[in-house]
Amino acid sequence: MKEKTISLRDIEGIGPATEAKLKEAGYLTIEALAFASAKEISDATGLSYDKALEITEKARNFLGIGFMTADEYYKKRQNVGYITTGSKAFDNILGGGIETQAITELIGEFGTGKTQLCHQLAVNVQLPKDKGGLEANAVYIDTEGTFRPERIIQIANNMKLDPNETLKRIYYTRAYNSDHQILIVEELMEKMPKFGARLVIVDSIVSHFRSEYPGRENLVVRQQRLNKHIHDLHRIANLYNAAIVVTNQIVASPDIFFGNPNKPVGGHIIAHGCTYRLMLRKGKENQRIIKIFDSPIHPESETVFRIFEGGIGDVEE
C-alpha cells in the first residue's frame, strides 16, 4: 500500500484557499508552519494574525512540539545518537562522540584541525551504528572554500570504504555571504529528509558575519542575524535528530593583555547558542589537544588526538 503523504491540509482549519496562500508564501510543510511566528505568516500571506496563530499552534501540536514532561524529554534524549570522531580518546571525553539534537562548536586558531574534523565526521556519520555512525548522510556548508573531496577520498580509502559512494552521501554547498548562509539553512529545513542527512556542518559559522558586520556599530545587527541562524540550526537538530557541527576560528590578538586573548568570536550569541563547545589547540607534531568547556553535562576535561593522512585518529594506535 502506498504510504499516505502528509500535507498542510492535515491541519484542521487549513482548507484549499488557505493552503494555496501558505504555499504561495513558501510554507510548504507542517514543519515550516510550526517553526514560523504567527506575525511572519500573517505578513507573508495576508491571513489574519489570529488565524496565523491558530495555524502555528495546530502545526506544533500535530508535530508534538511544545511543553513536555521531564520523563517525555528523557525519552527524547534516549534517541540521541553519537558520531565517532575517529579517536577513542576524543569520543570518551564526549561520552560517546558528537551528539545529535545538539550544536557542537569547534573552536581554535588556524591549522588546529577544525576543517579536518569536519571532513572526518562527514564520512563517519555514514558508518553503521556499531562502527560509530548513524547510517546517514551529511550536509557540508562551506563558507571559506576549504572543503576538499580529495581529502574525503583519502579518509574513505583509509577506512576501506568505497570513496565514490562516500562522496555521493555528502551534500555540499558553498555559502557566499551571510544572507546566503542563512538562506541555505532555512531551505535545508525542508531538504533534510530528501538528503537523508543526520549531520550538518557549517565551516565556519561566523566568518561571513565577522567580515560583513565589522566593528561595534554593527554588533547588534550581526548578533540578531547570527541568533536567528543558530535558532534555525537548533530546529534542524531537534526536528531530524541531527548533529550540528560548526567551527569558529579564534584570533589571538596581541594587543589584549588582560583577560583571555584567545576569545572566540561571535560573542554571547554563539556562546549561549551552542550546546557543546570544544577548544582545539596544537600539540607537538601532528597532535592536537581538545578541551571541553562550557558543557551542561561534561566535566571540563581534555585529551589528545592526531591528524594523519587517513584522517583523525588516536595518538597511540
Choice between 60 and 174, CB closer to Mg ion: 174
Number of residues that bind Mg ion (CB under 5 A): 3
The Cα–Cα gap between 67 and 216 comes to 37
Contact of residue 116 among ligand GTP, Mg ion, none (CB under 5-8 Å per partner type): ligand GTP
The Cα–Cα gap between 40 and 129 comes to 40
**Interface mask (CB under 6 A) for ligand GTP, residues 272-291, using x and -?**
--------------x-----
- Residue of 49, 73, 74, 110 that binds ligand GTP (CB under 6 A): 110
**Among 55-63, 67-75, 103-111, 233-241, the segment contacting ligand GTP (CB under 6 A):** 103-111
Q: Which parts of the chain fold into alpha helices (H)?
A: 16-24, 30-34, 38-45, 49-63, 70-78, 88-94, 114-124, 149-158, 163-168, 178-195, 207-212, 219-239, 267-273
**Interface mask (CB under 6 A) for ligand GTP, residues 154-193, using x and -?**
----------------------------------------
Choice between 114 and 229, CB closer to ligand GTP: 114
Contact of residue 42 among ligand GTP, Mg ion, none (CB under 5-8 Å per partner type): none
Asked if 115 is part of the footprint of Mg ion (rule: CB under 5 A), the reply reads yes
The Cα–Cα gap between 2 and 251 comes to 55
**Among 31-39, 111-119, 227-235, 304-312, the segment contacting Mg ion (CB under 5 A):** 111-119
Q: Which residues of 10-29 are buried (b: 16+ CB within 10 A; e: fewer)?
A: ebeebeeebeebbeebebeb
Number of residues that bind ligand GTP (CB under 6 A): 14
Choice between 110 and 293, CB closer to ligand GTP: 110
Of the CA atoms within 13 Å of residue 187, those in its CB half-sphere come to 10
Smallest gap from residue 199 Cβ to ligand GTP (A): 17
Which of 241, 245, 229 is closest to 179 using CA atoms?
A: 229
Output the CA torsion sign for 135, 317, 113, 297: positive
Asked if 116 is part of the footprint of ligand GTP (rule: CB under 6 A), the reply reads yes
Matching residue, cell 500500500:
1
The Cα–Cα gap between 144 and 215 comes to 21
Matching residue, cell 529545513:
189
**Interface mask (CB under 5 A) for Mg ion, residues 126-165, using x and -?**
--------------------x-------------------
> Which long-range contacts (C-beta less than 8 Å, at least 24 apart) are formed by 70-74?
none
- What DSSP assignment string belongs to 21-44? HHHHTT--SHHHHHTS-HHHHHHH
Smallest gap from residue 108 Cβ to Mg ion (A): 9
At 314 the three-state DSSP class reads coil
Contact of residue 286 among ligand GTP, Mg ion, none (CB under 5-8 Å per partner type): ligand GTP
- Residue of 87, 100, 112, 137 that binds ligand GTP (CB under 6 A): 112
- Give the interface with ligand GTP as residue ranges (CB under 6 A): 108, 110-116, 146, 249, 286, 307-309
